[in-house]
Amino acid sequence: MSETQSIGQRLRAAREERGITPEQAAYRSKVPLQLLYALESDDYRLLPDPAYLIRPLHDYARVLGMDPLAFEEEFRQRIRRQPSPSLAVIPPPEPPSPIPWTQILWTLGAIAVVLPLVFITLSLVSKRMGEQASAPPPPAPIVVPATSPSGGPEAPASPVTPAQPAPPTSPAQAAPTPPAAVAPPPGPAGTAAERLARRLLLAATAVEPTWMRVRADGGEEREVLLQKGQTVRFGAEKGFVVTIGNAGGVQLTLNGEPLPSLGASGQVVRDLAIPLGGVSSTPQGPPAATSAH
C-alpha cells in the first residue's frame, strides 16, 4: 500500500484484500458500522471530537492485522493539522428593514402640527393664570363688635342679602334678625397693613339699629344691618357711595376723623358720596337727607 494514501483508504484496501465486507468487519471489531464508514472515508465531521475514533481505530486495525500505534500517531497528526469543520451553518445577518419614507414624512408632519398647538395652549393657560393671580379681590366690609353698656360684646352684625325685604326706616320698624358670625378685625383702628393697603378707611358706629349699603371705588355693593353699639369698616382707594336707612342712628368717621351728622333719626340718606367734596379726611358740610315714609 502507498504511504501517500490516507488512513481510511489504507483501511478499506486492507479489508477488501481480505474479502471482508464492512458489516463483517464491524461485527468482528465491535466497531459500530457508522464509525467504520467514517474511518474508511476520513470523514469526521459528524463527530463532536475526532479523537473519539482512536479506540475504534485500534480495534479495526487489529482485525485487519495492522499496527494500531502507527495508525494512532498518524491519525493524531492529521486531526491536529486539519481540524474538522463545524457543520453548524451560521446564517448571514439580515439587513435592517428600511423605514418607509412615507411613514417618516407623516410622523414629521404630525409633530409639526401638534407642537404649535401645544405651545399656544400653554401660553393661553399661563396668561389666564397670571391675570387671575394679579386681579385684586373685592373689598369686603369689616364688622367690629362693640362693647355693650354691661361690659360684654354685642352680637356681630349680619350682612343683608338682596333677597331680604326693604330696610327699616325707623327704629320701631327695624326687625332684628339672627346675626351671623363675622370675624372681628384686630383693633378698632385696623392693622398697619390695612392702612397701607387702602388710602381711605370709612368706619360706621351704630347708636340705633340701622341699615347701610356701601359701594367702594364703584365696585360691588355691600349691605349690612347694624345693631346699637356695633361698628363696621370699609376700605377704598378713591371713595364710597353710601345709602343709610336711619341717618340719625349711625356715626361716620373717615380716616379716624368724624363726619358731620347725616340727618335725624328715621331719615334715609341715599347715594351719599364720601369723601364729601373730594378726597380728604376733613368733612365739608352735611349731605342732603330724605325722610322715611
- In order of 124, 143, 231, the CA distances from 187 in angstroms are 43, 11, 11
What band does 3 get if pLDDT is binned at 50, 70 and 90?
Answer: low
| Predicted structure pTM score | 0.31
DSSP strands (E only) in the chain:
142-144, 158-159, 200-206, 210-216, 221-226, 231-236, 240-244, 250-254, 257-258, 269-274
Q: Summarize pLDDT for 58-85 with one digit per residue, the tens.
A: 888 888 888 888 888 888 887 775 554 4
Per-residue pLDDT at 95? 63
Instruction: Choose between 50 and 180: higher pLDDT.
Output: 50
Residues 6+ apart with CB under 8 A from 195: 201
Q: Summarize pLDDT for 13-59 with one digit per residue, the tens.
A: 889 999 999 899 889 889 898 888 888 888 877 666 777 788 888 88
7-81: which CATH number, 1.10.1740.10, 3.40.50.2300, 3.40.50.10490, 1.10.260.40? 1.10.260.40
Number of C-beta neighbours around residue 286 at 10 A: 15
Per-residue pLDDT at 205? 96
CB 240 within 8 A of CB 215: yes
What band does 133 get if pLDDT is binned at 50, 70 and 90?
Answer: confident
CA-based Rg of the chain, rounded to a whole angstrom? 57
Using the CB atoms, write b or e for 179-208: b if 16+ within 10 Å: beebeebeeeebeeebeeebebbbbbbbeb
Q: How far apart are CA 105 and CA 58, in angstroms?
A: 72
> Which phi and psi angles does 46 have, rounded to 5°?
-80, -5
Tell me the average pLDDT across 168-180.
48
100: which DSSP letter?
A: P
Q: Summarize pLDDT for 194-223 with one digit per residue, the tens.
A: 544 558 999 999 999 999 999 999 899 999
What residue segments make up the domains of the chain, in order of their start? 7-81, 142-274
